[in-house]
Structure 1
Amino acid sequence: MLEFFRKYQRYFFLVTTVVVIASFTLFGTYDTFAKGEEKEDRIIGRTISGSAMMLSEVQKLSRFIATDREDSMEGRGLSPNFCNDGVIRYDFLKDRLADLLVKEYFDVLKEDFSSRLDKAKRFRSYAHPDAPFLSAKTIWEHLIPGLNQEIAAVQSESEPTLAFFNHLSRLYQLQGRLSPETLRRILIYQHQQYPTLRVDQKLVQDDLSVFGFHTASDWFGHDFIDLVAEFILNSAAAASEKGYTVSLEEAKGDLIHRFQETMQKLAAAKIKPDVSFHQHLRSLGFDERSAAEVWQKVLLFRRYFHDVGGAAFVDSLPYKDFASYAKETAVVQKYQWQMRIQSAQDLAELNLYIRSIAPKSEKGLPTAFLSVSEVEKKFPALVQTTYLANVAEVSKKQVGLTATVKQLLQWQTDDKNWAQLVRQFSLPSVPTKDERFAILATIDPILRAKIDELTRERLVDQNPSWVEEALASAPRVEKIWSISGNEEPTLQKEGTFYSIEDLKIVEDKHILRFEDAREILAERIGKVDEAFTVENNPFSSVAKAAYDALQKNPMDSNWVQSGNNPIQDQFKLIRNEQSISRTSKENWMKEQAFMMLPDFWSPIHVADDGEISFFYLQEKKVTHEPILESLNFGKETLAADAKAYVTERLLQTVKMKNAIVIPVQRGDE
């Protein structure tokens, strides 16, 4: 048999080769052909002009606008599209066209919104487990005001509604101002300022984006992107019917311009990626022609809506007349006392203050004052010394973070300490350390956290060297504070440790002003619940005398502050020049000023908050300012209204002709 195979082996090889080649030729490519047939394009509907709307056309446009150049390059999921300057972000969300689309097709989008609401409710922004102040919320509060409030508003929704979409839309626009990776770098930098704080791996590894969303598809769902794409295609069809044209070369040129513009911005931020225009398009799944065809539709949509908004006309004449009226100003010299007495409590505190700093012979508002040493004998707390020093401070809780888990357990399972925990936290009294450890391992996490917090505090008390080490590594900042009487210049605050260096006296012993001494005076007097009238106010009783004197001499030093003696000046009038417009907050002043003639004095005014003031009207004048800003604002408002009107009319036609089909995919696709 072997001899037979050896004799005819060439014929066997030939037959085997023919069979293998034939099988690959006839059957090996079957799957490829089959898949090609499965992905065959089809008509999913017709635009308002009657032209066929192909599935591939909607999918390409959706894919192109799903990301834009403002999406994070370091995000997860789809890469940013450097050629898209923000079709969804600006044309639809910022201009509020998306609100009208979602309102019309909300039932179709509701399922996608529900899944996003569920994810949003489960979202918890990053916070360091041992230092809650080191958190994403804190950074957002400083850098993106309003974002935390929008997150709370989204999470408070019980079901998806139009209000939910509005909050989601605002959040999407706000979060784009700070990428998740930039947030991570800020948090890591802040973490480095606390070397004793343990490293949290979640800070390095977790996704820090809001709700874990990155692209518009993540935020609003694929059906929403398809809805926007189909609306653009219908708008482009309407634009073509009205005679608007955009060539493929023009669309290609605009794409190149957008790409180059993005590259310049990234280069300025020193993060320019090493990629060409064609390479970038290929990474998105497009070639130059297919990208131009998609962008051609966007440009037709934009040209149509830009012309609608630009057609809004604003007449400048009403603005000029209004500006002449609104910009009229009155220049006045205002006189007012800085002290405001509006209750019996205020009056009692003022009387005690005057008795403590002025001779007994002084009645009403004082004009003579005791020396610092005399006041210190009568009321030591009213005399203070101000110090300046370089200060390091650490909280007891912060120092307690130095303790390891082993140290915590050793302290907690100790006989003496366990007895304390049993009394304070109602834990079972067990004899062995193993039993105590088992109890600690199974108790409620909140109770365990309280026990750990107490343990850390006790360990800090037992290890003063921890405090010294923490203060040695803490940053020193310049701090100013005051000490009453002859007290030592130390800083004291419960739960805080301080280290003071380079101590200097900024201001030697001095008498506190009334406003600075209010807390001390209130503590001495207690609560006062007597009736109070304006006539009891000592400033009211002398206001007429001051008013008459200043009409004769507007700079009378007996009544106007000199700036040389703060204790004496607090009982005198502040004089300052002020320009009042018709939109000023001082209602009584603007009402009086625009009814008066220049070179006249206003009546004395006593406000509800105790302020006593009056003014001299120096002149009235009209400020001729450019009204371009007002015109632009008016035009933008009208343009937005015009775009909304056209969108509503277009949607009526779309609905009537069933020109938008959502979802675009059949269930078996």
Structure 2
Amino acid sequence: MLQFFRRYQKILFFFTTGVIAISFSFFGSYSAMNETTIEDPVVFYTVDGSGVKRSEMEQMILFLATDVYDKQSVGWGWGPNFLNDGVVRYDIVASGLAPVIAEKYFPAMKEELNSRLQKEKRFRPYIHPQARFINAEMTWSHFAPELKASYDALRASANAVNKETFQHRIDCYLAESQFPGYALAQVMRYQEGQYDWVQADPTLTQQDLALFHYHSAEDWFGRAFVRLCSQFVINAAKVAEERGYVVTKEEALADLMRHANDSYQYEQSSPEVAYSGSNDYMAEQLRRMNIGRTRAVKLWRQVLLFRRLMNDARDSVFVDPLVYEQMLAFSGAAVTVDEYCLPEEFRFDNARSMHRFEVYLDAIAERDPKDPLALPHRFKSSSEVMRSNPALVQRRYALAVSSVDKEHLEARVGVRDTWNWEVMDLNWAKLIAEFPELRAASTGDESQRYNILANLDPNTRNRIDAFARAAIVKEHPEWISETLGAAKIQVGEYSLAYGGKNFPFEGVTDRHELIAFLDGANIVDPAHIEHVDADASLAAYTGDETHYYRILVLDRSSAGDEIMNFSEALVNGAADELLDNLLKKAYGAIREKDPESYRQADGRWKTLNDVKAKVANEYFAPLHQQVYSDYLVHGGKKAPTEPTGDFSAVHRVDAGMRLLRDQVAASPEAAIDLLREGIPTDVTYGKLSLRIDPTDQWRLVKEERVVERNQYDGDLSNSSVGLGYLLTLKEGEWSPVLRSDDGHASFALVRTFGISNSDVLKKKVEEAGMLLGAEAQQILCRELLEGFRVADAIDLTVEDDEAPAEADEDAV
């Protein structure tokens, strides 16, 4: 065979060449004779009379139909046009031009809008398959209420082609832009994680959670609307050129490249974006849209001309700030003051908080019976208070404490050690003495004792084991020292009261003993607490042989026994304990005055807890009346018809505040002795902080604040309206005692007047400029549309066929 081809190879070569030449000649000529031309007719004429071909129109529609925000909601990869930074979304829809543009062309959009409305009415948002309360509508209600309201309004619409429904569609479109599908998925995934019994829906991240499954302006409004917007942009660009606006090709190209670079930076980690730079990335996007770079620059140049025309109309509006200056001079009036008030613990919100204060004053102060509402300045000695109310007397220490409880130590005893201990002769005798049920089996060797213990019921066996572990720990006191030495050291300030329910060391019953040990211990440098041994009495201190403490004394009060101030009594719980003990003693006498109110249906007395508030109101009724009368005497106009506990609580310190106000106003320079500002508050590690002595606890808190007129309504000339009254005073003038915004007593010195916020004027002018600018754009839009209508420059009746391929070389 090979020999045959070698012999006739020249003949075969000439024959093959001839066949190929003949076939190419024939088919080439045939194609040339039958070549057809793709038509690209003019679809409409612009306002200046120039024709726009179908390819140009379709490419503008394609360019504007999607934008970079659609791309972000869809995710990585190709699809929406990232070179469009939101022409339809922002320049037409969000600016308020869409209803103006669409109003006259609803008939051309009717078919598409009707079909979309029917689809929207059938739409069912996402619902979790296991937990139905995790659903899209509930999430919208909480995180995007505007979207939920627009969604409901659109679905409830009956007519798809009227202004109201179209506005609902616009509101939905813009609200969904703020809370797109991927954000919805993230929120619902978080909600799944809040419930242990809810299994994550594996399909959640794969589902299309976009509202109505729409991903572009064309999806939301239809192709006819995008065509209308495209023709409006093209015509507006012609008008802009006629009015002298200029946008060069270089400027349009630079803007496109900027958009491409922004998108490339956002998506360069995507596996689908395998390009070396934003230029290649932009070229690939244009290739996929079948638009050449030259045509893309021409399209974007028209967009920029349209933008400049509309934005200049918006920015040309000037808002005179004078009208706002005059308005703010009144409504924005503000006064800067120095406000004086008592510390927070003396701002009573209810009757019980005031009653705690009264029993505290009775316990520690020498009160003037002629002026029961005064804040006392004469106090009992600590020894006097100790005899009657030891819960209000304390000693303060800075301590380094480590602790351990017996249960923690018992965990070191294993099961084998516990059982071995139990069957030993000496220990078996201890078990028999503690657990009589073992006496019947008191004889036998260790193996028999094992069997006896094994046959006990679980509860008895657990009690015996617990007893054995505790006994083993007691036999090993070195375990306590070892554990305390390794435990974490807590450094802090400890207030040890001689009485009361609350005590920082659990298990301690003899407080005097512990306080004596602490007073006799050596002071340790806080820097050396890790390397210093505790005093023998405090190395493993316990009050119940269950809780053990290793205590180092770092500092102690030189004052010795101290009377608690009211804040300390509240934190310690002593004030509540005093009040409850008082009411318990008084209950017997009070219920005898009105037995029917305090008896149950069966004739038995009600418990104190059931009637505690009523008993307190009866006991403190004289105090309530005194506060009520003081309020009326000093011009109060908002009193109830009769005194109540809660009303008296709010006004309890008014009398004392009036006296303090007169003292501060008489000599502001010397008022430092009446302020908390005069008490140092520095705290050093391992040292006691300076405390507020009961004699200083009425010192005032001074705070600079601004009172604004817009916080108050109506006539401010009456001091009962509160701090708004300060606006009627003059600079340097002292106010009477007023009700602060939180409802409690304060007074103030007026410093300066001014406008509450200098930024308010700027904000108001900007808001007015935005509103008037949007209105100016709409007016210009209507004028342009009328001109386009007269020139017949808008035509939506063209056939929606496939556009022909781009003709110039940049299309490839």
Q: What is the CA distance between 1:314 and its match in structure 2?
A: 4.0
1:619 maps to which of 727, 743, 752: 752
- The one-letter amino acid paired with 1:594 is L
Instruction: Give the match for residue 388 of structure 1.
Output: none
Distance 1:268 1:544 in 2: 71
Contact kept? 1:513, 1:566, Cα under 8 Å: no
Instruction: Give the match for residue 129 of structure 1.
Output: 129
Task: Please say if 1:255 is aligned against 2:366.
Answer: no
Distance 1:158 1:308 in 2: 36
Distance 1:93 1:267 in 2: 30
1:636 maps to which of 770, 773, 776: 770
Instruction: Give the match for residue 284 of structure 1.
Output: 289
- 3-state secondary structure, aligned to 1:601: coil
Instruction: Give the match for residue 547 of structure 1.
Output: 658
- The one-letter amino acid paired with 2:55 is S
Q: What is the CA distance between 1:335 and its match in structure 2?
A: 5.0
Distance 1:202 1:569 in 2: 67
Task: Please say if 1:579 is aligned against 2:706.
Answer: yes
- The one-letter amino acid paired with 2:104 is E
Q: TM-score, normalised by structure 1?
A: 0.61
Distance 1:152 1:572 in 2: 58
The 3 A distance-change label for structure 1 pair 269 and 23 is closer
Distance 2:70 2:610 in 1: 57
The 3 A distance-change label for structure 1 pair 107 and 510 is farther
- 3-state secondary structure, aligned to 1:599: coil
Q: What is the CA distance between 1:286 and its match in structure 2?
A: 0.7
Contact kept? 2:336, 2:750, Cα under 8 Å: yes
Distance 2:64 2:702 in 1: 61
CA deviations 1:364-404 (Å, max 9, x no partner) are 69979999x9899xxxxxxxxxxxxxxxxxxxxxxxxxxxx
Contact kept? 1:308, 1:643, Cα under 8 Å: yes
Contact kept? 1:339, 1:611, Cα under 8 Å: no
The 3 A distance-change label for structure 1 pair 193 and 550 is closer
Q: What is the CA distance between 1:284 and its match in structure 2?
A: 1.7
Name which of structure 1's ranges 163-172 and 134-143 shifts more when overlaid on structure 2. 134-143
- 3-state secondary structure, aligned to 1:112: helix
Name which of structure 1's ranges 607-616 and 159-168 shifts more when overlaid on structure 2. 607-616
Distance 2:642 2:676 in 1: 22
- 3-state secondary structure, aligned to 2:92: helix
Contact kept? 2:661, 2:747, Cα under 8 Å: no
Q: What is the CA distance between 1:283 and its match in structure 2?
A: 1.1
Instruction: Give the match for residue 147 of structure 2.
Output: 147
Q: What is the CA distance between 1:249 and its match in structure 2?
A: 4.1
Instruction: Give the match for residue 419 of structure 1.
Output: none
- 3-state secondary structure, aligned to 2:796: coil
The 3 A distance-change label for structure 1 pair 375 and 236 is farther
- 3-state secondary structure, aligned to 1:553: helix
- 3-state secondary structure, aligned to 2:283: helix
The 3 A distance-change label for structure 1 pair 187 and 544 is closer
Distance 2:611 2:57 in 1: 74
Q: What is the CA distance between 1:550 and its match in structure 2?
A: 1.2
Contact kept? 1:534, 1:540, Cα under 8 Å: no
Instruction: Give the match for residue 296 of structure 1.
Output: 301
- 3-state secondary structure, aligned to 1:301: helix
The 3 A distance-change label for structure 1 pair 551 and 236 is same
Contact kept? 1:560, 1:572, Cα under 8 Å: yes
Instruction: Give the match for residue 246 of structure 1.
Output: 247
Name which of structure 1's ranges 603-612 and 143-152 shifts more when overlaid on structure 2. 603-612
Distance 2:269 2:693 in 1: 52
Contact kept? 1:67, 1:78, Cα under 8 Å: no
CA deviations 1:160-186 (Å, max 9, x no partner) are 343333333233233334553455456
Instruction: Note the 1:66-465 alignment, pairs <5 A.
Output: 66-73=65-72, 75=74, 79-132=79-132, 134-136=134-136, 146-160=146-160, 161-177=162-178, 179-181=180-182, 183-184=184-185, 187-188=188-189, 191=192, 197-266=198-267, 274=275, 275-315=280-320, 329-335=334-340
Instruction: Give the match for residue 593 of structure 1.
Output: 726
- 3-state secondary structure, aligned to 2:173: helix
- 3-state secondary structure, aligned to 1:330: strand
Name which of structure 1's ranges 128-137 and 301-310 shifts more when overlaid on structure 2. 128-137
- 3-state secondary structure, aligned to 1:652: helix
Name structure 1 gaps, 5 residues minimum: 1-13, 377-484, 487-506
Name structure 2 gaps, 5 residues minimum: 1-17, 392-500, 503-569, 581-607, 618-638, 666-670, 682-690, 717-721, 804-812
Q: TM-score, normalised by structure 2?
A: 0.51
Distance 1:271 1:364 in 2: 80
Q: What is the CA distance between 1:302 and its match in structure 2?
A: 1.2
Distance 2:698 2:610 in 1: 20
Greater radius of gyration (CA): 2
CA RMSD after TM alignment: 5.5
Task: Please say if 1:42 is aligned against 2:41.
Answer: yes
Instruction: Note the 1:512-523 alignment, pairs <5 A.
Output: none
- 3-state secondary structure, aligned to 2:335: strand
Q: What is the CA distance between 1:86 and its match in structure 2?
A: 0.8
Q: What is the CA distance between 1:144 and its match in structure 2?
A: 5.0
Q: What is the CA distance between 1:210 and its match in structure 2?
A: 1.6
Task: Please say if 1:533 is aligned against 2:641.
Answer: yes
- 3-state secondary structure, aligned to 2:573: strand
The 3 A distance-change label for structure 1 pair 649 and 322 is same
Contact kept? 1:232, 1:298, Cα under 8 Å: yes
Distance 2:102 2:610 in 1: 59
Instruction: Note the 1:546-565 alignment, pairs <5 A.
Output: 546-553=657-664
The 3 A distance-change label for structure 1 pair 273 and 568 is farther
Distance 2:115 2:27 in 1: 48
Alignment length (residue pairs): 516
CA deviations 1:399-454 (Å, max 9, x no partner) are xxxxxxxxxxxxxxxxxxxxxxxxxxxxxxxxxxxxxxxxxxxxxxxxxxxxxxxx
Contact kept? 1:340, 1:611, Cα under 8 Å: no
- The one-letter amino acid paired with 2:706 is S
Q: What is the CA distance between 1:88 and its match in structure 2?
A: 0.9
Q: What is the CA distance between 1:617 and its match in structure 2?
A: 1.5
Q: What is the CA distance between 1:217 and its match in structure 2?
A: 0.9
Distance 2:87 2:169 in 1: 17
The 3 A distance-change label for structure 1 pair 640 and 575 is same
Q: What is the CA distance between 1:327 and its match in structure 2?
A: 6.5
Contact kept? 2:151, 2:172, Cα under 8 Å: yes
Contact kept? 1:67, 1:216, Cα under 8 Å: yes
- 3-state secondary structure, aligned to 2:728: coil
Distance 2:209 2:610 in 1: 49
Task: Please say if 1:655 is aligned against 2:656.
Answer: no
Name which of structure 1's ranges 232-241 and 328-337 shifts more when overlaid on structure 2. 328-337
- The one-letter amino acid paired with 2:67 is D
Contact kept? 1:134, 1:190, Cα under 8 Å: yes
- 3-state secondary structure, aligned to 1:84: coil
Instruction: Give the match for residue 391 of structure 1.
Output: none
Name which of structure 1's ranges 247-256 and 140-149 shifts more when overlaid on structure 2. 140-149
